[in-house]
Structure 1
Amino acid sequence: MTKPDVTIVREVFDLTGARWTVPVLVALETGRLRFGEIARDVGGVAQKQLAATLRELERDGFVERTAFATIPPRVEYELTELGEELVGGVKRLGSIAFNNRDRIATARRQFAERAEGSVGM
């Protein structure tokens, strides 16, 4: 039996774990937005970083970029069907963390207590 190639899984996890990816995805969940609208909705992201995040999301098929031949040029971004699926997955993961925050805090506290107890052994 061959081992499955999990490279793409790791790459998508890396992308969703990047600082600005989830806020950008959530902003785009409301519908098609221009670059400035995304920047405003996300808040605190540098233009260069936002552009890089949008490029990565577009490259991987999660976001569609539409350029309009107007003066000045207008560019809009929106989630693809794949992007909507990703947002749903990210929200479910966030929900698991939020709904189980007390259990996670307890597990962390118990782990720290066990680690302190084993230091002197």
Structure 2
Amino acid sequence: MKKIEKTDAEWRAELTPEQYAVCRCSATEPPFTGRWYQHKEKGTYTCAACQAPLFASDTKYDSGSGWPSFWQPLSKHAVEEKFDETHGMRRTEVLCGTCHSHLGHVFPDGPKPTGLRYCINSLAMDFQPA
């Protein structure tokens, strides 16, 4: 996959201030407020910053966490994972595999078959209907 690299000024010009805070500065939107939290339409969730495909709607589930949750990314290259010790926690950060934008975090308390919960900010995603 081709990686996308842009300057900070380019990202600021292309993203809303809220998207920039999440995607480029690793902010987190408040729980239960995101556009895609209770979204049920069939299709593909894409990166808000670069439009790369991230998650299929059939892997989305209601985790009760307040953020859109998925049990698996669309492909092994769709996302990257990075150890995160910010805010006094030990977590695994999830980044877009194409543009390296912050998406959210992954936790080992999800449903079968993977047992994973990719907890993703709505501001970091767009949606393409099936």
Q: By the TM > 0.5 criterion, same fold?
A: no
Higher strand share: 2
Higher helix share: 1
**TM-score w.r.t. structure 1 length?**
0.27
Q: Greater RCO between the two (CA within 8 Å, min separation 6)?
A: 2
**TM-score w.r.t. structure 2 length?**
0.26
Greater Rg over alpha carbons, structure: 1
